[in-house]
Structure 1
Amino acid sequence: MRNDFAKKLREYEARFEAMEPEEQIVLKDKFVNSEKYETEVEGYIVVWNTRIAKDGPLPFCAKGGTRIHPKVTLDEIKMLARKMALKNAAAGLPLGGAKSGLRGNPDEKEFKRKYQKFVEIAKPYFHENGGKCGGLGFDIGARPEHVDWAIEVLGSGKSFTGKPAKLGGTDYDKNGIAGLGVAVAARTYLDAVGKSAKGAQFAVQGLGAMGAAVTKYFAAYGGQMVALGDPVLEGTWVFKSPPTKAFYEYVGERDYKKIRTYLDINANHIGKDSNVVLEQACDVLFPCAMQNVITNTNVAKLKTKLICEGANEPVALDTYKRLQSRCIPVIPDFIANPGGVIAAFVEMTSKSKDKVTEAKEMTEMRIAENVRACLKLAEEHGVSLREAGLYLAYQRILD
């Protein structure tokens, strides 16, 4: 049975690898800055696989965020849009994958003018204007003020997701909806295998938007944090006793000064390397910081019973088999953390006055369903959760 599954998975993988984007657009223009010099504007939009959305509420639409960086390239945006195609399908959303990008530094002089010129030339490609791209969203380099800048150009907030609730959005970063999904994924897995989030000891790498939200929600389910690691907090800390409710409130507020004061009194600082947190004994490990932090170099040192990926690909691809041989299951990022795009889908389709609550409810429902589906497939065919998740995503895209 495993051989049949593996053969079909390889077939799906080959077909997915052979796919090309439906659109890859290079956007170029100029504006004259305050010093009377011409300033170039260059950005990109890439769209994959909108056929999956043909019968949905947003026909032939693809979605992803907007990356802003001085060195962003078309190839990078193409790769990220392709990953969004997989993530959106894994989440069970009728959305293709998209990504937009702008070459620039958000701190540069007159960046607002560059950003608004980019929005102006990207506008015809947005779904609300007849294009295939679902619009703008938060990613590396994006800032809250960009919502207002975009609305000044577009005339509405329809093509910008993640915006504040007062503008018809879900404010998914502020509300930690992606982190909620990761916490739900771990809770669902534990429930399915006869365990519980209540009393489960967990460790988190990275207390940014994702890690802070994971901590907040998993603690609300009864989890007990035993270790954390973050460069902002100068490395890795192990708690002397279970953290208090006040500590979790500091984390939810991302008040790093209060967090650090609490740690100085109630935790042991075991090193300035935040990767050391990955090696601490726990029931659930949430890597929520960087890519490729769990590798063949440190995999033998892990002392967790479950890894639930909050970051993008924190486990190196060649390390999954080592984890499987050690009987450490991994809930992959594309199954655990599509909460942001689920919230974006709610923003774009819902008529509700309370889109935040609706986005949270849909995130909990979709991710719990998908984790259970992966577990069922993994058990039936004797494969990993990652293989099961890929199979489900490919099936939704290709069949």
Structure 2
Amino acid sequence: MTEAVQTTLTSNLYDQQVKKLYRVGEILGLPQDVLETLSQPERVIQVKIEIKGKDGKVKTFIGWRSQHNSALGPYKGGIRYHPNVTQDEVIALSMMMTWKNSLLLLPYGGGKGGIRVDPSKLSLEELEMLSRRYIDTLYKYIGSDIDIPAPDVNTNPQTMAWFIDEYIKITGKADYATFTGKPVELGGLETRNYSTGLGVATVAKEAASKFIGGIEGARVIIQGFGNVGSFTAKFLQDMGAKIIGVSDSKGGVIDPNGIDINKMIETKEKTGSVINYPTGKKVTNDELLTSECDILIPAALENVIHKFNADKVKAKMIVEGANGPLTADADLVMKNRGIPVVPDILANAGGVVGSYVEWANNKMGEIMEEEEAKRLIISRMEKAFNSVYEMHKKLGDQDLRMAAMALAVERVVNAMKVRGMI
């Protein structure tokens, strides 16, 4: 992908989401004023965070929290640390969380947060200071009945531990349900680490049974081998799929004979990249996306499949492990080519289902066993997929994304109407 194309695509995730919203608005017959209010967040908080480094110099960072819609309940969504985070990106992702929570019938609205920082350039002490200062600026706007953050890109259970400790110190409230994705010692669940990957694999299996004859022996390519990609690969391999390609930020590997995922995880941990896997052909991420397979799972960045490469995709089916990996233009190309796309708001919702279980446990003071939580995530994902598939058949000429969004948006709109918000 050329630099110009990359800039064009990564700068408009919000525009892409608004396009998709207006497309579903036509299907549902929603008036312009309702679409306008749905396209805007209820609140966006921008904060400045200053920390003093070991060298004595002050480092300044900008962060955000977007609270998109609260019609169905408190805002819910992750917080990411990334050098390219923008306000528009955070707003777009909070909008997607609204639809995701609605689609999975969870009692939440949508929220998302981010700090523009390269965490690899900070020491552990500086990361802790940054995390605590972020909560210092936001504590008035979050809480287990207000806004419930969770991990996202470059944040993890340790980050959530710093968050909850700082929140308790400032507010005096031992409200552990304010954050999810916490360490097990602080009320977190074992399932939270792999719940997104489990959800992606579950809906991939369900979709495969409807569109390509089943998951057994299906050739799968996964772009992105972080938490989501690696666990998705592991679960799909256990289901009988054949993983033939994976990648990370440094490139990818394709092996038609199949990749041993446990061995690939070990390679990644020991060498820092999947490209050091001993067998197969090394490829770029762009080449990986357009390689022949049965199921393609983009599980890394947004907008990686777009109008410039959508016609080159050779997969029989796409499952969106990442948020927004297909642009609105790419959606139309896939629809015209007859390639089903299982949308992000459905496919990667396992993580927020896992968060819901943790939140509910913390609120009630109960503990759910890992296998029970795992069964609940699988069951909720299967039901959501089948609801979307039935809506897809009912609408006739609409793709799975429009079917999913139709269900999600309609539920939010109905809640807003009965509450008198519109």
Q: Give the TM-score taking structure 1 as reference length.
A: 0.83
Among 221, 227, 234, the alignment partner of 2:245 is: 227
Task: Give the SS at the match of 1:137.
Answer: strand
Matches within 5 A, 1:196-345: 196-232=214-250, 235-243=251-259, 247-251=260-264, 254-255=268-269, 257=271, 263-264=277-278, 266-269=279-282, 271=283, 273-345=284-356
- Find the aligned partners of 1:6 and 1:318 in 2 and give their Cα distance: 17
SS of the aligned residue for 2:66 comes to strand
Change (3 A) 1:27 1:185: same
- Between the two proteins, the alignment pairs up a number of residues equal to 376
Does 1:23 find its partner at 2:43? yes
Q: Deviations over 1:333-383 (max 9, x none)?
A: 111001111111111112542454444323212221121112111112211
Select between 300-309 and 358-367 the one with higher mean Cα deviation: 358-367
Any stretches of 5+ residues in structure 1 without a counterpart?
A: 54-60
Q: C-alpha separation between the residues in 2 aligned to 1:205 and 1:312?
A: 13
Contact 2:294 2:316 in 1 (8 A): yes
Cα 1:102/1:372, change in 2 over 3 Å: same
Task: Please state if 1:117 is matched with 2:117.
Answer: no
Who is 2:404 aligned against?
389
Whichever residue aligns with residue 393 of structure 2, its letter is E
Identify the residue that residue 170 of structure 1 maps to in structure 2.
Answer: 189
Find the aligned partners of 1:369 and 1:70 in 2 and give their Cα distance: 37
In the TM superposition, what are the counterparts of 1:81-160 in structure 2 within 5 Å? 81-106=94-119, 107-108=121-122, 110-128=126-144, 132-134=146-148, 136-155=149-168, 156=174, 157-160=176-179
* Gap change, CA 1:221 and 1:38, over 3 Å in 2: closer
Q: What CA distance in whole angstroms lies between the structure 2 residues aligned with 1:72 and 1:257?
A: 28
Deviation by residue 1:21-60 (Cα, 9 ceiling, x = unmatched): 333334457677777777667543322322212xxxxxxx
CA separation in 1, counterparts of 2:252 and 2:57? 48
Q: Would you say 1:189 and 2:203 are equivalent positions? A: no
1:58 is aligned to none
SS in 2 for 1:226: strand
Structure 2 portions without partners, runs of 5+:
1-23, 169-173, 415-422
Given that 1:180 and 1:214 are in contact with CA atoms closer than 8 Å, whether structure 2 keeps it comes out as yes
User: What CA deviation, in whole Å up to 9, does each residue of 1:300-321 have, x standing for no partner?
Assistant: 3222111111112212211222
Cα–Cα, structure 1 residues 42 and 280, in superposed 2: closer, same or farther, change >3 Å? closer
User: Which whole-Å deviations, capped at 9, do the CAs of 1:146-193 have from their partners, x for residues lacking one?
Assistant: 2332233233543221122232112556x3211111111111112235
> Deviation digits for residues 210-265 of structure 1, max 9, x if unmatched?
11111111111110112233343xx343325234xxx222345653649859842x
Equivalent-residue separation in structure 2 for 1:163 and 1:251 (angstroms): 27
Are the equivalent residues in 1 in contact too, given 2:252–2:275 (CA < 8 A)?
no
Contact 1:41 1:118 in 2 (8 A): no
SS of residue paired to 2:217:
coil
- What percent of counterpart residues are identical? 28
Secondary structure of the equivalent of 1:305? strand
Quick one: structure 1 residues 282 and 161, their matched pair in 2 at CA, closer, same or farther if it must change by over 3 Å? same
Distance 1:231-1:388 versus aligned 2 partners, 3 A rule: same
Local SS of the residue matching 1:52: coil
> What is the aligned partner in structure 2 of residue 363 from structure 1?
377
**Deviation of the 1:284 alpha carbon:** 1.0
Contact kept? 1:236, 1:275, Cα under 8 Å: no
Q: How far is 1:112 from its partner?
A: 2.7
Any conservation in 2 of the 1:237–1:267 contact (CA below 8 Å)? Answer: yes
**Counterpart residue number, 1:45:** 65
Give the TM-score taking structure 2 as reference length: 0.79
Q: Is the 8 A contact 2:82 2:118 kept in 1?
A: yes
Residue 328 (structure 1) shift: 0.7
d(CA) in 2 for partners of 1:201, 1:374: 24
**RMSD (Å), alpha carbons:** 3.0
Question: The residue matched to 1:11 in structure 2 has which SS?
Answer: coil
Instruction: State the 1:125 CA deviation.
Output: 2.0
What one-letter code is carried by the residue in structure 1 that aligns with 2:37? Answer: A
